[in-house]
């Protein structure tokens, strides 16, 4: 067995392995865009007698974690050919990815699991999935009776014509607002074009400043017509309302609208006189998250409550995280220092990851056996620093 980065001439083999694992199998040749996507710097493989047996991709991203921008390692396309499964190849690949993320200075990691219990063994914790809601377009009709504020406009355009504008909105408006959202600074123009292929973009602009963004695919007509919005993002309520009004203008030609939203969005307040039931679905499996480097992940997170607490962390896969850290509030932000003192609270890396991302409070972590000890004051401080908060990310991988 040999574990290494794939070579340029092995890109197609990786794409075909991923196709077999996650998509409909076809005999079509691998196109140039997919070959470019399979960057050897981000793909590791296990080779058995020169055959690609198992592979994993780990790419760089920026992620909003509680309002702080963190370097994130996205783990995807973890696949093993059927004849090589059950031999521990993925475990070896995951450890290689952890070491690479450490080398890159990555603070956090995220993935979409095929089975949560599998990745929990590697220190990942379940966060949440996004919501996908579908409702009759006519339920937005009441927005047409409202006048937009002066200077606010929306104009639909083919998304491929405004990629630069989408990137500008994403990084300047969306990324700072949505906890969990990621950006791909290393993505190529070809990858962006593939992401927006066959879709329409519209911005809610205020005197030329883009304040909201919808990206949608229009399918069918009449009773079978649908607007499938894969992106529906806004920086302020006025922009959201204008986007809803824009969608409402399709009510005579399009029967239904589908929106991908944060799981805690009170979208029912946007609808009126719903004549047919709306649907709420979970969009794919939930994300799973992990702290890769404790100081890099935690430093700078919001910490309005004054105080400090010494926390011991145990991380069996990433032993560089194991140790005692002094967490303290410094000017409303968290400061992190590795120390040699006795801890007030003990936890494993799953508990630390859950706190950082806001997936569970300390009481639930203790019930799961991920956290132990701690006086009430220390646990209360941790809960005040790390309140539960659902994440939202619409760049799938």
What is the per-residue pLDDT across 194-216, written as a single tens digit (0 to 9) for each?
Answer: 999 999 999 999 999 999 999 99
Average pLDDT over residues 292-300: 98
Which helix or strand (DSSP H or E) is residue 74 part of?
strand 68-80
| pLDDT attached to residue 59 | 97
Q: How confident is the model at residue 363 (pLDDT cuts 50, 70, 90)?
A: very high
| pLDDT attached to residue 203 | 98
Q: Largest alpha-carbon pair distance within the chain?
A: 68
Q: Which of 60, 91, 92, 62 is nearest to 75 (CA)?
A: 60
* Domain range 293-385, its CATH number among 3.40.50.1000, 3.30.1050.10, 3.90.480.20, 3.40.50.300: 3.30.1050.10
Q: What is the CATH number of domain 2-106?
A: 3.40.630.30
| pLDDT attached to residue 35 | 87
What is the per-residue pLDDT across 115-148, written as a single tens digit (0 to 9) for each?
Answer: 999 999 999 999 999 999 999 999 999 999 998 8
What is the per-residue pLDDT across 50-64, written as a single tens digit (0 to 9) for each?
Answer: 999 999 999 999 999
∠ CA 277-282-204, rounded to 5°: 75
* Domain range 130-283, its CATH number among 3.90.1150.10, 3.40.630.30, 1.20.120.790, 3.30.1330.180: 3.40.630.30
On average, the pLDDT of the chain sits at 96
- The CA distance from 358 to 290, in Å, is 12
Buried b (16+ CB within 10 A) or exposed e, 152-185: bebeeeebbebeebbeebbeebbbeebbbbbbbe
Which helix or strand (DSSP H or E) is residue 20 part of?
helix 11-22
Residue 39 scores a pLDDT above 80: yes
CB-CB neighbours of 266 under 10 Å:
7
Query: Which pTM value belongs to this model?
Result: 0.94
Percentage helix, strand, coil for the chain under 3-state DSSP, each rounded to 5: 35, 35, 30
| pLDDT attached to residue 326 | 98
Q: Same topology for domains 2-106 and 130-283, yes or no?
A: yes
| pLDDT attached to residue 130 | 95
Residue 55 near residue 90, CB atoms below 8 Å: no
Helix boundaries (H) for 105-144: 116-120
What is the per-residue pLDDT across 248-291, written as a single tens digit (0 to 9) for each?
Answer: 999 999 999 999 999 999 999 999 988 777 899 987 889 999 99
- The CA distance from 195 to 210, in Å, is 20
Q: Which of 93, 26, 25 is nearest to 53 (CA)?
A: 93
What is the per-residue pLDDT across 81-118, written as a single tens digit (0 to 9) for each?
Answer: 999 999 999 999 999 999 999 999 999 999 999 999 99
| pLDDT attached to residue 275 | 74
Locate 288 and state its tokens: 């799973």
What is the per-residue pLDDT across 373-391, written as a single tens digit (0 to 9) for each?
Answer: 888 999 999 999 999 999 9
| pLDDT attached to residue 32 | 82
- The CA distance from 145 to 281, in Å, is 29
SS3 state of residue 95: helix
What is the per-residue pLDDT across 185-198, written as a single tens digit (0 to 9) for each?
Answer: 999 888 899 999 99
Q: How confident is the model at residue 27 (pLDDT cuts 50, 70, 90)?
A: confident
What is the per-residue pLDDT across 307-338, written as a single tens digit (0 to 9) for each?
Answer: 999 999 999 999 999 999 999 999 999 999 99
| pLDDT attached to residue 177 | 97
Locate 371 and state its tokens: 């956290």
Ranges of each domain in the chain: 2-106, 130-283, 293-385
């Amino acid at each position: 067995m040999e574990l290494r980065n794939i070579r340029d001439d092995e890109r197609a083999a990786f794409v075909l392995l991923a196709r077999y694992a996650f998509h409909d199998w076809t005999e079509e040749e691998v196109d140039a865009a997919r070959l470019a996507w399979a960057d050897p710097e981000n793909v590791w493989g296990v080779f058995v007698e020169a055959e690609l047996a198992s592979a994993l991709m780990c790419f760089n991203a920026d992620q909003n974690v509680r309002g702080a921008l963190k370097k994130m390692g996205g783990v995807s396309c973890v696949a093993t050919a059927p004849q090589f499964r059950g031999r521990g190849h993925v475990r070896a690949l995951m450890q290689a990815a952890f070491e690479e993320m450490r080398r890159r200075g990555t603070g956090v990691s995220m993935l979409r699991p095929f089975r949560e219990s599998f990745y929990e063994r590697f220190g990942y914790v379940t966060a949440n999935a996004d919501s996908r809601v579908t409702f009759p377009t006519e339920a937005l009709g009441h927005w047409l009776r409202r006048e937009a504020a002066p200077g606010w406009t929306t104009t639909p355009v083919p998304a491929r014509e405004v990629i630069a504008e989408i990137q500008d909105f994403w990084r300047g408006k969306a990324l700072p607002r949505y906890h969990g959202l990621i950006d791909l600074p290393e993505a190529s123009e070809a990858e962006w074009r593939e992401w927006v292929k066959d879709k329409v973009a519209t911005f809610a602009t205020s005197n030329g400043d883009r304040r909201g963004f919808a990206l949608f695919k229009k399918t069918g007509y009449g009773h079978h017509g649908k607007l499938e919005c894969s992106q529906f993002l806004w920086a302020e309520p006025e922009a959201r309302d204008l986007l809803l009004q824009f969608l409402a203008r399709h009510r005579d030609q399009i029967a239904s609208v589908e929106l991908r939203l944060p799981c805690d969005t009170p979208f029912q307040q946007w609808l009126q006189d719903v004549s047919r039931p709306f649907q709420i679905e979970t969009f794919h499996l939930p994300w799973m998250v992990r702290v890769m480097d404790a100081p890099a992940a935690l430093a700078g997170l919001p910490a309005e409550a004054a105080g400090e607490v010494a926390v011991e962390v145990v991380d069996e896969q990433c032993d560089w995280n194991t140790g005692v850290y002094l967490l303290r509030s410094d000017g409303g932000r968290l400061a992190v220092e590795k120390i040699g003192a006795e801890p007030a609270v003990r936890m494993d890396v799953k508990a630390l990851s859950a706190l950082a991302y806001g997936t569970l409070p300390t009481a639930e972590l203790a019930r799961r056996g991920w956290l132990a000890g701690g006086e009430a004051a220390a646990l209360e401080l941790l809960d005040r620093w790390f309140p539960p908060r659902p994440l939202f990310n619409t760049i799938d991988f």
